A and B are shown apart, each in its own frame.
Chain A
Amino acid sequence: MNFNKIVEMNDISFKYDRETVVENIDLTIEQGQFLGLVGPNGSGKSTLIKLMLGIVKPDKGDVKIFGKPIKQFNQWEEIGFVSQKANSFNSGFPATVLEVVKTGLVSRIGAFKFFNRKHKEKALEALRTVEMEEYANTNIGELSGGQQQRVFIARALVSDPSLLILDEPTVGVDAKHVTAFYDLLGKLNQDKGISLLMVTHDIGTITEHATHVVCMNKTIHFHGASEEYKEFDDEDLNRLYGHSVQQLTHNHDHEEIRP
């Protein structure tokens, strides 16, 4: 789909019960960007994604996807989503990798139509992209966490989305696979032209790979190019979003740090 601005969020606020989780957020995702969304635990990152996907409705502000108000938007196959919870599925579920990946095509196929050979080919192609093709007929529960993560990315890729949203995808993936994982994302962004939005704790690593960074803690504290962000010193960061995140920047070699 050709539209320069994939997501536009204008002045979004949201409360859970009485607690404000997201406040006055303006965020635009443009075609071709690899955007890293960072912030400490409980900073509203996952909620922002839910607002973007229409899973929860904002108390204030509006969301547009490909220029359309979210209520009218129905081409969900344009957006691939890999949830934080993707890995916590019932691992005893009797499904093969191929069967799981094909579910990514459900909205593209539409109601009252069936899976066919073409869809199988499409799913295998997505598995090839994430280098998991040889596991197509393996039971999903038999794979390692990192391999499952790749399968869920294939499921998100299979409908040829313009934007891929990943919510903390490296949690639970061991450190040596994280590098390979970022290489895969780079390949998707540069070779396939897929825009990416990745939610993460790991500021150090994301600034190495993403083109743009957004730092949030209820509100947006920084939004700009990764290069610009890297020039900040600790004092700037302190001002930006408090000490809890600064700690992260010092420890970015660690796989997972909870401030």
Chain B
Amino acid sequence: MIESFIQYDFLQNAAITGILIGLVAPLLGVFIVVRRLSLIADALSHITLTGIAASLLLEKRVTGINELNPIYMGMVFSVGGAILIEKLRKLYKHYEELAIPIILSGGIGVGVILISLADGFNTDLFSYLFGSVTAVSRSSMWTVLGITIAVLTIVILFYKELFVLSFDEEHASITGVNGRWIHLLFIVMVALVIASSMQVVGILLVSALMTLPVAAALRIASSFKQTIGLSIAFGEFSVIFGLISSYQLSVPPGGTIVVIAILVLIMSIIYKKVRSQLYIKGETV
């Protein structure tokens, strides 16, 4: 395993990219989950697929474009989708969640047409849907590193604003926090992280990496900082062991990462149950 890691560039790319998204996906995931926006991640990952399909089609049909890295087009569509969701949420003030199925189904619908036009129903597509340990290029890895640095900088700089907005939007507006801009910045970050994560975990499972570690952390943590710390720890654990078992078992990493994240979640639920049982017993004794 270690030998192959040193020997093969693609394994290094996948491992480093995996570790980076294991950090930023759960980090943004905490804010998404507490704001009850979990499904936004799903909508954005599906519109990322449209971007990938568009990229495949361009590569195939337009002469002069070859070796187009689909991650960039995926990002453009994901960010576009994020801005569109915000517009739709304003349009349907009383049905804010309606924006999610609109973007989600729209993304898949257009995506399927584009993929079909590009004759793209092949193994490449399979790796975009469920992730791959072999498909991450060096240039994608650098892109993901850049996005990770940007996300960390923004979350650190705007931590207190993001926290106030998540806890109590009304109070945030009274304290003079410009919620609209920060929210937009945040949702664009989410879109970029989703497009970045897609290569390792796959489009269909990106949202899992943003929500499952957070769901597990919520069972255990009492403070917000603890929730963030645990979410990242669970995220990294799932990604690292998911990638190793994916390589060993020759199955897509999306599957193994999600299964490990689910196991972590189950463990945390059991841990909480046992702990509160013990606590009750301790009190009555």
The residue on A at minimum CB distance from B226 is A94
Interface segment out of the listed B41-49, B122-130, B161-169, B236-244: B161-169
Of B34, B36, B171, which is within 8 A of A94 by CB? B34
A103 touches B218 (CB 8 A): no
Whether A74 contacts B163 in the complex (CB less than 8 A), given A83-B170, A94-B226, A95-B224, comes out as no
In the assembled complex, the Cα of A92 lies from the Cα of B225 at a distance in Å of 15
Q: Is B285 located at the chain interface by the 8 A CB criterion?
A: no
Residues of B within 8 A of A137 (CB): 222-223
A94 touches B175 (CB 8 A): no
Contact pattern, B 156-190, Cβ under 8 Å of A = 1, otherwise 0: 01011101101110111111110000000000000
Of A53, A85, A90, A99, which is within 8 A of B224 by CB? A99
Interface segment out of the listed A111-119, A197-205, A226-234, A239-247: A111-119
The residue on B at minimum CB distance from A94 is B227
Residues of B within 8 A of A83 (CB): 170-171
Of B163, B176, B221, B226, which is within 8 A of A103 by CB? B163
A93 touches B167 (CB 8 A): yes
Which residues of A93-150 have CB atoms within 8 Å of chain B's CB atoms?
Answer: 93-96, 99-100, 102-104, 106-107, 109, 111-112, 114-115, 137-139
Residues of A within 8 A of B36 (CB): 90
In the assembled complex, the Cα of A99 lies from the Cα of B166 at a distance in Å of 12
Of A79, A93, A155, which is within 8 A of B34 by CB? A93
In the assembled complex, the Cα of A115 lies from the Cα of B168 at a distance in Å of 18
In the assembled complex, the Cα of A241 lies from the Cα of B167 at a distance in Å of 38
Q: Is A89 located at the chain interface by the 8 A CB criterion?
A: yes
Residues of A within 8 A of B222 (CB): 94, 96, 137-139
In the assembled complex, the Cα of A104 lies from the Cα of B177 at a distance in Å of 11
Residues of B within 8 A of A114 (CB): 159-160
Interface secondary structure of B, over-half rule: helix
Whether A106 contacts B225 in the complex (CB less than 8 A), given A92-B218, A93-B167, A95-B167, comes out as no
B174 touches A55 (CB 8 A): yes
Of A77, A79, A96, A155, which is within 8 A of B223 by CB? A96
Q: How far is the CB of B253 from chain A (nearest CB, A)?
A: 29
Q: Is A14 located at the chain interface by the 8 A CB criterion?
A: no
In the assembled complex, the Cα of A37 lies from the Cα of B157 at a distance in Å of 40
Residues of B within 8 A of A77 (CB): 175
Please tell me the size bucket of the interface on B: 20 to 34
Residues of A within 8 A of B160 (CB): 102-103, 106, 109, 114-115
Of B166, B175, B223, which is within 8 A of A107 by CB? B175
The number of residues on chain A lying at the interface, defined by a beta carbon within 8 Å of a beta carbon of chain B, is: 33
Residues of A within 8 A of B159 (CB): 114
The residue on A at minimum CB distance from B214 is A94
Q: How far is the CB of A259 from chain B (nearest CB, A)?
A: 26
Residues of A within 8 A of B225 (CB): 99
Q: Is A3 located at the chain interface by the 8 A CB criterion?
A: no
Residues of A within 8 A of B224 (CB): 94-96, 99
The residue on B at minimum CB distance from A104 is B175
A112 touches B175 (CB 8 A): no
- Residue among B172, B176, B217 facing the most chain A CB atoms (10 A cut-off): B176
- Residue among B172, B177, B224 facing the most chain A CB atoms (10 A cut-off): B224
In the assembled complex, the Cα of A109 lies from the Cα of B176 at a distance in Å of 11
Q: Is A81 located at the chain interface by the 8 A CB criterion?
A: yes
Whether A106 contacts B161 in the complex (CB less than 8 A), given A93-B34, A93-B167, A94-B218, comes out as yes
Going nearest first, the 3 A-B pairs with the smallest beta carbon separation are A107-B175, A94-B227, A139-B222
Q: Can you report 14 residue pairs joining A to B where beta carbons are below 8 Å apart?
A: A55-B170, A76-B174, A86-B168, A90-B36, A94-B221, A94-B226, A95-B167, A95-B223, A96-B222, A96-B224, A106-B160, A107-B177, A139-B223, A155-B171
Extra 17 A-B pairs, beta carbons < 8 Å, given A94-B217, A103-B163, A106-B177: A53-B174, A74-B176, A76-B174, A81-B171, A81-B174, A92-B218, A93-B34, A93-B167, A94-B218, A94-B223, A95-B167, A96-B222, A99-B225, A106-B164, A107-B175, A107-B177, A114-B159
